[in-house]
Amino acid sequence: MSDRFLVVGGDAAGMSAAGKAKRDDPDREVVVFERGDWVSYGACGIPYYVKGEIADIEELQVVEPRKLVEERGIDLRRRHEVVAVDPDARTVTVEADGERYEEPYDDLLLATGGRAALPDAPGTDLEGVFAVRNLEAGRALRSYVVREDDAEVPAHPDAGSGDGERLRSHLRETDVERVVVIGANKIGVEMAEAFVARGFDVHVVEAGPHVLPVFGPDVADVVADHLRDSGVRLHLGTSVERLVGEAEAEEGTGRATEEGTGRATEEGARPAEGTDRVRAIETDAGRIEAEAVLCDVGVEPETDLAESAGIDLGETGAIRTDEFGRTGDDRVYAAGDCAEKRHLLTGEAVRWPYALAANRAGRAVGRTVAGRPTPVGGIVGTGVMKAFDREVARTGLDDEQARAAGFDPVSTTVTTITRAHYYPGWSRIVVHATADADSGRLLGTSMVGAEGAAHRINAVATALHAGLTVEEVGRLDFGYAPPFGPVWDPVLLAAKALGDELE
C-alpha cells in the first residue's frame, strides 16, 4: 500500500479523491496542488450568480479551504501549478512564487479538468471575448452585468490573472448593450437567460440547426420557441467566420441584420482607446454588432500534462483509463473532465464533462488508493438544465446516436400534462423516447416542460442502468397523486406509446 497521494487539481474530482483517501486512511499523506485560488466549487452555479439569484460568489464554494486543511488534514497548496510529471522517477515538478521544486509520489491523480473551447475563427483573442469556466471570470462578469464598481466587488486573491482580469478590465471601460452568445449549449442558454434578466439585447449564434443539440430536435424546438418568446434572438444554422475588432468596425465595413426584422442595428458606444476590443461578429448569414461575446462551443479536456508525461490518451482526446481510473501507468490515475468515461449503453469511451461523474470518479479513486479498489462507474448521459422557466432533461441515446452505435432505433414523442387535469397549475410536458427495435430495450429519453422534467428523467436513467425494455418500463409502479402527476405519468405514457410503435 502506498503512503503518499498527490492530486493535481482542486475541484470536483480532485477534492473528492483527496477527501475520501484521507477519510479511509487518516495516516496517509494527501497533497493537493491547485494552480488557482479557488477549490471545491460549483461552476454550474455561475449563470445563476450572474443573473442575481445567488447573492455572493463565495456561496458557490462547497468546502472552505480552511476546513480542508484544519478539519480534514489535507495538505492543500493553492497557487501551486504542477508543470511536469516524471512517471519513472515518480515525481512532479511544481511552480509557485516564481520558483520550481519537485515532490515525490506513490500514487498520483490527474484531475486537471477541462478548458472552454473557442470558435475556430479569427478574433477570439480580442478584448471582450470570453468563456466562463471559473469563479473569478464569473465574478467579473457579474460586476459587468450589474454595473457594479470594482470597490463593490472585491477582487479574489488571484484576480490579477487570466480571464478574470481581462474581463474586468474590459468591462470597466466599455458600455455594453448587446451580448452575443456563440453556441447554444447548456451554459450558453443559461447565460443568455442571465443576460436577458439584466436587460441586455441578447443574440445566440449556433452553427447547428437546433439549440441544445444533445437534447434532440423535438425538445430543442420547444426550447427554441421559448427562448424567442423570452426575448432571445436566435441565429440557428449560422457559422461564425470571424470576430471583428473596434479598429476594423470604425472603417464602416457594414452592419448586422437582426433576425426577422431586416433592419440594421445601431452602432454601440465606443470603448476606450488603446486596445482592440470586439465590436461585431461576422457570420455566413451577415454581421451582428456586439460589445461583448460569450463563447460556449464545448469543453476540451486539459491533457497537456498527461501528454508531456507520455500518458496515453483515448480516441476521444481525453485520458484513457481502466475501470478503476488508472492510466497506462498503474500509479497514475485520471478522473473528471480530463478523463474518458464509459457509456453503459454502447460500451464506448466518451467525454462527459458533468459534475456528478467527476465527483463519483474522484471518490472511487480515493477509495482505491486507500486500499479498497472501487470502479469509477459508467454513465448513461443524464443531464438537466433550466431555460428560463422551462426544465429540460435528457438521458441515454437519441435516434442518431443509437443508429451510430449499431441499434435499430424506434422513437415517439408525446405531449401530456404534469398533474391531474382537474388539479390547478398543470402544464404541458413534451417527452421524446427512443428504443431498440430488435431487443425492445429503452435507449433514451428527453423531455421539456414547466415542471417535472428534471426529476422524472432520473427514473428513466435508472431504467437505462438496469437495461429495462420499454414493456418493463411501462409496468413500473410509479407513485400517483393529483398535485404531482396524472395517473399515467408522462414517463409511463411515453413507454406505452413507444410500445405501440414497437409492435
Q: Is 338 among the catalytic positions?
A: no
Q: What is the mean pLDDT of the chain?
A: 89
The model's confidence at residue 273, banded by pLDDT at 50, 70 and 90, is: very low
Q: Looking at the DSSP assignment, which residues form a beta bridge with residue 391?
A: 386, 449
The three-state secondary structure class of 45 is: helix
Task: Provide the 10 A C-beta neighbour count for residue 246.
Answer: 22
Report pLDDT for 404: 96
Q: Alpha helices of 237-382 — where are they, by DSSP H? A: 246-249, 304-308, 355-369
Residue 138: band (very low, low, confident or very high) from pLDDT cuts 50, 70, 90: confident
What integer pLDDT is reported at residue 265 of this predicted model? 30
User: For residue 412, what are the CA distances in angstroms to 435, 497, 501?
Assistant: 9, 7, 7
What confidence score (pLDDT) does residue 500 get? 97
The C-alpha cell 490515475 sits at: 333
Q: How far apart are CA 29 and CA 103, in angstroms?
A: 12
Question: Are residues 462 and 443 in contact, defined by beta-carbon separation less than 8 angstroms?
Answer: no
Give me the residues paired with residue 435 across strands.
410, 442
Q: What is the tens place of the pLDDT at every residue in 324-375?
A: 999 999 999 999 999 999 999 999 999 999 999 999 999 999 999 999 999 9
- Residues forming beta bridges with residue 149, ordered by sequence position: none
pLDDT, residue 131, reads: 84
Look up the CATH architecture of domain 4-113+299-369.
3-Layer(bba) Sandwich (3.50)
Is the fold of 4-113+299-369 the same as that of 129-295? yes
Query: What pLDDT sits at residue 65?
Result: 85
Beta strands in 58-185 (DSSP E): 75-78, 81-86, 91-96, 99-104, 107-110, 114-116, 129-130, 178-182
Provide the pLDDT confidence category of residue 63 given band limits of 50, 70 and 90.
confident
- The closest of 233, 244, 239, 254 to 284, measured between CA atoms, is 239
CATH number (3.30.413.10, 3.40.50.170, 2.130.10.10, 3.50.50.60) of 129-295 reads 3.50.50.60
**Within a 13 Å sphere around the CA of 311, how many CA atoms are in the beta-carbon half?**
33
Q: Do the beta carbons of residue 460 and residue 491 sit within 8 Å?
A: yes
The architecture (CATH level 2) of 383-502 comes to: 3-Layer(bba) Sandwich (3.50)
**Inter-CA distances, 77 with 38, 74, 86, 134, Å:** 11, 9, 20, 18
pLDDT tens profile 165-217:
445 455 445 567 899 999 999 999 999 999 999 889 999 999 999 999 999 99
Catalytic residue, candidates 2, 29, 44, 255? 44
Sequence-separated (6 or more) residues with CB below 8 Å from residue 224:
210, 211, 234, 236
Q: Is the model's pTM score more than 0.75?
A: yes
Is 137's pLDDT higher than 90? no
Instruction: Show the cell assigned to 76.
Output: 492543500
Supply the pLDDT for residue 127: 84
**Percentage above 90 pLDDT, the chain:** 77
pLDDT of residue 148 exceeding 60, the answer is no
Q: Is the pLDDT of residue 232 over 80?
A: yes
162-173 helix and 135-146 helix, angle to the nearest 10 degrees: 10
Q: What is the residue extent of each domain of the chain? A: 4-113+299-369, 129-295, 383-502
- Compute the residue count for the chain: 503
State which amino acid sits at residue 204. V
Q: Is the pLDDT of residue 219 over 70?
A: yes
Strands 428-436 and 201-206 turn out to be unpaired
Secondary structure of residue 205 in the 3-state scheme: strand
Average pLDDT over residues 91-102: 97
What's the pLDDT tens digit per position in 454-503?
A: 999 999 999 999 999 999 999 999 999 999 999 999 999 999 999 999 99
Please state, for a pLDDT cut of 70, what percent of the chain lies above it. Answer: 88
411 or 137, greater pLDDT: 411
Q: On the CB side of 63, how many CA atoms lie within 13 Å of its CA?
A: 20
